[in-house]
Structure 1
């Protein structure tokens, strides 16, 4: 609703509040929300412009590589950059028909009983459809870690992404195989679309 429509609704409720007093409070509440929104609009617009600028800011390959959180992620990143000739893009790096982002916020997950919800990130996002997770044996090898990863995958799938998990050992031993796995999933996604 526009400010005018909400203001008109507040006035109607306040007039009706002369007959049925609880409606006066409802009208006052609506009027207060209109006032608050008008007062906060400049700050909200500034924040939206800042977010838009950050999303579209050109990012260099070096800047993005620094956001990798493990040697395995760095190795995968280097393999993708090399395979696709990636360079600067708006909010991502691009090359040969592919775009790549790192450390993308994906959702919230409760880890363990009674614990709080925690935001989690995906290692890589390719073409805004494919989440690539690089799984090291130390962090992802235990039964608890596998259950946590399965729960994360459910959340990611619910947000309409596809998940590809690549073991760190594959990335280190044969980086080309990791790139081939990404290409296979990208091909399947383009056929399904």
Structure 2
């Protein structure tokens, strides 16, 4: 079952729980039904079902290959997204004598997984389920924007109980032994401390129902806490979300206008008569604009976009964690959006000057600068 489908069922059962509680004051037996619904909601929230792995044939091959297959290494190398990642994986395999075991690599007391999703991110390598190893190419991780984005990403993983090491691609290529030593030192330092979670003994049906009745109040309290948390998140990053929305609006408008101009230029170039008529109309428009300027007509208003800034630390640790995660998602979405815009402009250089002119006429110079500073990593994957 997908996460969306499960969330929808939880919401429906929550509504039914509230209805049964309200009806219970008239028909007391409805309290038991409300308790049952609340218990199933609590069970789903505390015991999420694992997501099935992709059914892709090539993906499945990685998860089924064994060390007896002489080509087993190729099924893992193909998951790497850069030559530096391939070199690091080769070094780890040789340094730790790693062998495949149900889709991961194990050996010499170490476990290595790669391209592991932990939404909203995906890590290059995950060592022993707690050490995130990122291989950084200088071209993609040296700009101030990339450094800030990496810092936010690392903070997200640290908040969620991981440790992070970043290894420059140059080190992987020139001194792979040093890259392995970086991992070895981090592993020797031990995993970050985590809260111990114990599984309570199985309760009887009567005890379960009693606990479910008690959980009704807890459920209501959690709903109230969720509303409070959402309100605090909106207060912390609401302006940043609004700024990103305006950035998208003016950028999409600029690209659409640029494509219209390019299409018009093509039509005018193909039809001399149309070009002649257009030039005549355009000349009249310019004259009218000149007259308006002489009579003191005001220029078109510009658009002001507030800069996106990192939210302040919230005194409540749980709410602060939620704010960090939400801000990380916002920054990640914004980065991907501008990377996509940059790809569009690079794929059709004719629109570049028009997009820049359109944005700057609206006073959105910073948006154009952001487009030009977009992370080239996405472009390199083409």
TM-score, length of structure 2 as denominator length: 0.36
Partner Cα separation in structure 1 for residue 145 and residue 125 of structure 2:
23
Q: Which residue of 2 aligns with 1:177?
A: 178
1:18-76 Cα shifts (integer Å, max 9, x gaps): 69xxxx9x999x69x79xx9xxx9xxx9x74835x98xx44554322211110000000
**Alignment gaps of 5+ in structure 2:** 1-13, 66-71, 195-382
1:50 to 1:145, Cα distance in 2 relative to 1, 3 A: closer
Q: Which residue of 2 aligns with 1:144?
A: 145
Give the secondary-structure state (helix, strand or coil) at the position aligned to 1:99: strand
**Where in structure 2 are the equivalents of 1:108-119 lying within 5 Å?**
119=120
1:123-169 Cα shifts (integer Å, max 9, x gaps): 10000111000000000011110000000010010111110000000
Partner Cα separation in structure 1 for residue 18 and residue 25 of structure 2:
11
- For residue 50 of structure 1, the aligned residue among 33, 43, 52 is 52
1:100 aligns with 2:112: yes
Partner Cα separation in structure 1 for residue 103 and residue 75 of structure 2:
11
More helix per residue: 1 or 2? 2
1:53-109 Cα shifts (integer Å, max 9, x gaps): 98xx445543222111100000000000011111111341111111101111234xx
Confirm or deny: 8 A CA contact 1:93 1:100 kept in the other structure.
yes
- For residue 80 of structure 1, the aligned residue among 92, 107, 110 is 92
Partner Cα separation in structure 2 for residue 77 and residue 162 of structure 1:
19
Partner Cα separation in structure 2 for residue 48 and residue 182 of structure 1:
29
* CA RMSD between the two structures: 4.0
Q: Which residue of 1 aligns with 2:23?
A: 14
Confirm or deny: 8 A CA contact 1:9 1:27 kept in the other structure.
no
Give the secondary-structure state (helix, strand or coil) at the position aligned to 1:124: strand
Q: Which residue of 2 aligns with 1:67?
A: 79
Confirm or deny: 8 A CA contact 2:117 2:123 kept in the other structure.
yes
What is the aligned residue count?
Answer: 159
Give the secondary-structure state (helix, strand or coil) at the position aligned to 2:52: helix
More strand per residue: 1 or 2? 1
1:135 aligns with 2:147: no
Give the secondary-structure state (helix, strand or coil) at the position aligned to 2:113: strand
1:191 to 1:150, Cα distance in 2 relative to 1, 3 A: closer
TM-score, length of structure 1 as denominator length: 0.67
Task: State which structure, 1 or 2, has the greater radius of gyration over its C-alpha atoms.
Answer: 2
1:72 to 1:12, Cα distance in 2 relative to 1, 3 A: closer
**Alignment gaps of 5+ in structure 1:** 1-5, 108-118
